[in-house]
């Protein structure tokens, strides 16, 4: 595969952001449309090229070091013969996926640190993957197009690390546009930036309940969606995914489906329609309408997809009552994790203080609350 002549680089820095999904939840495996944004919390990787075919890592936040070679990566062992710890598998998996695609890689030393909260559903792992992919792209002047880079990072996570994620996270980390959400069609990988309303901030509230994502809860819902497609094929024989059916068509036959698949499918079909409605609303600067669609999305995730929790519902309910909040909803897979709120920036200090206080009173739990802006995707400083 194409590889440009290697060029010498002095030390350089790569910044790779986390992401949050503003709308379009649990639709990616139905070829739906999602609306994520890269955020101004990121992984920062300082790189020094070396001649040897090794990667020396310093993970500053966890105070750990490791060295792995660029040969025999499928063995998942380090140069000292020990099995790779989990944090090493992310950059090593990216190297493995790039090599599988025919790219020749250079060695380097890297120290890195992150301002993305771990385990909060803000794609800290995708940020690491995309960041290291950009390191190798820069070092070797690799002729690799952005979407292919995102796909190889997804392959690393799926097949090397062993986490079954879609491509939205890596896509958003790489293609982020400052002050914009990204309308991303998972059926054909087309996308466009959509400006967020002026004078707004993205505020993420971590319920402090780690996902009991019960793989079972997630897998059960995927099975329900597949079952809904099977039942709908009685009336729509060509149907392969829920993306291919309109809300009007779905509601004509909804009552003939089994109860649970019908509820799951109603969420997916209406959520895709909400994203389609949200894009023109944002394009005309209608933050109020966008907030209403966020609220409708949360109700649907709570009542139809049934992946919310008492804590997430409490955060959304409190947020929705506060001045300056345009919209609030759970974000990510649900079953714990975070809510995302679109808030007028001038009220955001008060919003954060009041939300934290009221949540503590209602649940006894402390929410970690982060003010963010939509940010540029991964880049070399």
Q: Which letter does DSSP use for residue 345 in this model?
A: G
- Phi, psi angles (nearest 5°) of residue 246: -85, 160
Contact predicate 110/46, CB 8 Å:
yes
CA atoms within 13 Å, Cβ hemisphere of 69:
10
Nearest to 13 by CA among 39, 38, 63, 48: 48
As a whole number of angstroms, the distance between CA 234 and CA 379 comes to 49
Contact predicate 124/131, CB 8 Å:
no
Nearest to 268 by CA among 31, 27, 23, 36: 27
The yes-or-no answer on residue 313 being catalytic is no
Nearest to 38 by CA among 148, 184, 141, 206: 184
Annotated active-site residue in 169, 179, 185, 349: 169
As a whole number of angstroms, the distance between CA 300 and CA 294 comes to 10
Residues noted as catalytic: 169
């Amino acid at each position: 595969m194409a590889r440009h002549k290697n060029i010498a680089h002095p030390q350089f820095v790569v910044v790779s952001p986390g992401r949050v999904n503003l709308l379009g939840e649990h639709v990616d495996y139905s070829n739906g449309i999602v609306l994520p944004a890269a955020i101004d919390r990121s992984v920062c990787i300082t790189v020094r090229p070396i001649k040897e075919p090794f990667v020396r890592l310093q993970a500053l936040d966890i105070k750990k070091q490791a060295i792995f070679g660029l040969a025999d990566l499928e063995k998942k062992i380090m140069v000292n013969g020990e099995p790779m710890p989990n944090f090493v598998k992310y950059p090593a998996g990216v190297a493995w996926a790039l090599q599988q695609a025919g790219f020749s890689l250079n060695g380097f030393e890297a120290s890195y640190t992150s301002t993305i909260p771990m385990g909060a559903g803000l794609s800290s792992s995708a940020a690491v993957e995309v960041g290291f992919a950009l390191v190798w792209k820069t070092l070797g002047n690799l002729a690799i197009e952005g979407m292919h880079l995102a796909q190889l990072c997804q392959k690393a996570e799926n097949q090397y690390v062993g986490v079954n994620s879609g491509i939205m996270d890596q896509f958003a980390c790489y293609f982020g546009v400052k002050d914009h959400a990204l309308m991303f069609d998972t059926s054909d990988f087309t996308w466009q930036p959509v400006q967020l309303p002026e004078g707004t901030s993205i505020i993420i509230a971590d319920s402090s309940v780690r996902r009991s994502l019960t793989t079972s809860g997630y897998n059960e819902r995927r099975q329900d969606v597949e079952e809904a497609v099977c039942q709908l094929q009685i009336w729509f024989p060509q149907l392969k995914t829920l993306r291919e059916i309109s809300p009007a068509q779905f509601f004509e036959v909804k009552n003939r489906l089994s109860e649970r698949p019908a509820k799951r499918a109603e969420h997916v079909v209406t959520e895709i329609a909400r994203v389609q409605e949200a894009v023109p609303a944002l394009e005309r600067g209608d933050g109020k309408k966008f907030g209403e669609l966020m609220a409708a999305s949360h109700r649907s995730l709570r009542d139809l997809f049934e992946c919310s929790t008492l804590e997430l519902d409490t955060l959304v309910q409190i947020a929705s009552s506060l001045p300056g909040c345009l919209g609030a909803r759970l974000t990510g897979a649900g079953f714990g994790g975070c809510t995302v709120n679109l808030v007028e920036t001038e009220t955001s200090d008060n919003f954060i203080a009041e939300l934290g206080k009221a949540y503590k009173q209602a649940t006894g739990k402390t929410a970690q609350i982060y003010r963010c802006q939509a940010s540029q995707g991964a880049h070399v400083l």
